[in-house]
Amino acid sequence: MLDWLPQTRGCAGPGTQALVERIAAAADTLPWGQNYDASDFGAAFQARYGFMELIGPRGPLAASEIACGLLLFAPETEYPQHRHEAEELYVVLAGRAEWRAGDESYAVAPPGAVLHRPSWIPHAMRMGAEPMLALYLWRSGDLMQKSEIG
């Protein structure tokens, strides 16, 4: 799942390049995993994404109401519509993917963009030619909840 991480160094933005470089350099030491399984979006999706929780119930820095980590997607991958009780904030670090929430149409969010997803708002993203690396922040009373699909 980390095969595409080196490539994110070439598609970061001026405000995110230094952080992306640090993440790429430290990638092997970070606790990457997956929060979906093949029954959710299929085996092809599983091979094309990874996430890493740095702060939260699973992360090396324990927290019970806030979770924060990284999300990595391979190029040409669709993260289908999903929703969850947790309020979410994404900061795009690298890659120009298309993002959508609620009734919005897909729109490109460049590196540096901040996207807010209120509780239970359906949201999705699709990657084009570039991989996508984003920081995510979840706020909820139940940080172990699994997203609902659709």
* Window 79 to 108, contacts with Fe ion (CB under 5 A): 88
Site string for Fe ion, 46-85 (x = CB under 5 A): ----------------------------------------
> CB-wise, 53 or 88, nearer to Fe ion?
88
The alpha-helical segments, DSSP class H, found in 9-99 are 17-26, 38-41, 43-46
Cβ 142 to Fe ion shortest distance, Å: 14
Cβ closest to Fe ion, residue 9 vs residue 36 = 36
How many residues touch Fe ion under the rule CB under 5 A: the total is 1
Q: Provide, rounded to whole angstroms, the least separation between the CB of residue 33 and Fe ion.
A: 16
- Cβ–Cβ < 8 Å for 34, 69: no
Report how far apart, in Å, the C-alpha atoms of 68 and of each of 7, 34, 108, 147 are.
Answer: 22, 14, 23, 16
| C-beta of 10 vs 102, nearer to Fe ion | 102
Phi and psi (nearest 5°) for 102? 55, -130
CB of 29 to Fe ion, least distance (A): 25
Backbone φ and ψ for 121, nearest 5 degrees, come out as: -75, 125
Q: How far is the CB of 117 from Fe ion (least distance, A)?
A: 6
Tokens 């670090």 sit at which residue? 93
Least distance to Fe ion, CB of residue 145, Å: 11
CB closer to Fe ion out of 88 and 130: 88
Task: Please state, in angstroms and as integers, the Cα–Cα distance from residue 146 to each residue in 42, 113, 130, 142, following that order.
Answer: 16, 25, 27, 10
| Residue ranges that bind Fe ion, judged by CB under 5 A | 88
